[in-house]
């Protein structure tokens, strides 16, 4: 069994372009930080489903389907254009998920600006298949 | 690997010639509505089971739109605008949100709608297919 959450984390941290903007400690699993404590850019990887068996052959499933939500929070502060940065991060995420992992996007929320906390928030959902024991 | 599908357009033309455009549209619409209602009932059931301490009003608001055109595609939409105003908060329960104090709220029903869609995907296509086969 592969640790897909870790695989996504490593794919993100392996991308030098995205790491220019995000600190390694600010990429989190499951744990959403308090909005008041977000001072930088935060990415949260959240699995939404346990692996679902699919593609049966010989009375056994060949693949598992995975389903993830990735949230991007960007704090608006002097010197940073949060709107542009969050768009860019989401774009990079989409590229990483598709090119490196082959996960396609299934949806997302309207990009929002949370005025109370000066935060830009976008979320994307990705779905992908992994073969048992590789291809 | 590459596969080419031939004769799809010819088939559609032949069907249109035999049945007429209006009849064809009628057939696709019934199939779409049947498929949409199957998915909607799966979503409604799942939302109801995941309602936590809620009342289940959002689940009951799940409804299917009339078939409409999106460009050249005929489609039905699943929506929550049944007049109760619940459609305003569906996305909050589906994706999670911050509360007033800044704490992140992860509802029990997070991702339930999309998981139900994933679960019902094959059922949807099977329903549409069988509805079409019944009438063509």
How many residues are recorded in chain A?
135
C-alpha to C-alpha distance for A19 and B115, rounded to whole angstroms: 31
Question: Could you tell me which residues come within 8 angstroms of residue A66 by beta carbon, excluding any fewer than 6 positions away?
Answer: A4, A47, A49, A51, A103, A127, A128, A129, A130
Residue B98 host element (H or E) = strand B97-98
CB A22 within 8 A of CB A41: yes
**Minimal-distance CA residue of chain B relative to A35:** B102
| DSSP-derived 3-state class of residue A76 | coil
**CA–CA min distance B20, chain A (Å):** 36
Complex ipTM more than 0.90, yes or no: no
How much is the average pLDDT of A41-50? 94
For residue B110, the chain A residues in CB contact (below 8 A) are: 48, 69
Contact (CB, 8 A) for A32 and A71: yes
Does the pLDDT at position A135 exceed 70? no
Question: How many Å apart are CA A79 and CA A107, to the nearest integer?
Answer: 30
Instruction: Say if A14 is an interface residue toward chain B (CB within 8 Å).
Output: no
Say if residues B44 and B113 touch (Cβ distance below 8 Å): no
Number of Cβ within 10 Å of residue B135's Cβ equals 13
Q: B106 touching A, CB under 8 A?
A: yes
| Cβ atoms B124, B78 nearer than 8 A | no
The H or E element spanning position B126 is helix B112-135
Place of tokens 């928030």: A121
What would the pLDDT profile of A46-101 be if each residue is shown by its tens digit? 999 999 998 899 999 999 999 999 999 999 989 889 999 999 999 999 999 999 99
Determine contact: A114 vs chain B, CB below 8 A: yes
* Model pTM above 0.90: no
pLDDT tens digits, residue range A103-120? Answer: 999 989 999 999 999 999
């Amino acid at each position: 069994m592969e640790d897909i959450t870790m695989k996504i984390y490593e794919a993100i941290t392996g991308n030098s372009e995205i790491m220019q903007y995000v600190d390694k400690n600010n990429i989190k699993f499951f744990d959403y930080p308090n909005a008041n404590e977000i001072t930088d850019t935060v990415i949260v990887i959240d699995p939404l489903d346990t692996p679902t068996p699919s593609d049966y052959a010989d009375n056994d499933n060949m693949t598992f389907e995975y389903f993830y939500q990735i949230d991007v929070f960007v704090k608006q502060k002097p010197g940073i254009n949060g709107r542009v940065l969050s768009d860019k991060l989401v774009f990079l995420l989409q590229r990483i998920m598709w090119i490196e992992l082959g996960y396609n996007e299934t949806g997302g929320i309207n990009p929002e600006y949370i005025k109370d906390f000066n935060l830009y928030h976008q979320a994307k959902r990705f779905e992908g298949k992994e073969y048992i024991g590789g291809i | 690997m590459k596969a080419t599908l031939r004769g799809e357009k010819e088939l559609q033309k032949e069907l249109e010639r035999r049945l007429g455009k209006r009849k064809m549209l009628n057939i696709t619409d019934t199939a779409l509505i049947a498929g949409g209602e199957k998915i909607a009932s799966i979503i409604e059931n799942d939302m109801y089971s995941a309602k936590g301490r809620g009342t289940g009003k959002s689940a009951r608001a799940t409804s299917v739109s009339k078939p409409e055109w999106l460009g050249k595609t005929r489609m039905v939409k699943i929506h929550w605008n049944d007049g109760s105003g619940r459609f305003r908060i569906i996305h909050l329960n589906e994706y999670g949100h911050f509360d007033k104090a800044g704490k992140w709220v992860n509802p029990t029903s997070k991702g339930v709608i999309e998981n139900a869609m994933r679960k019902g995907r094959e059922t949807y296509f099977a329903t549409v297919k069988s509805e079409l086969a019944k009438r063509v």
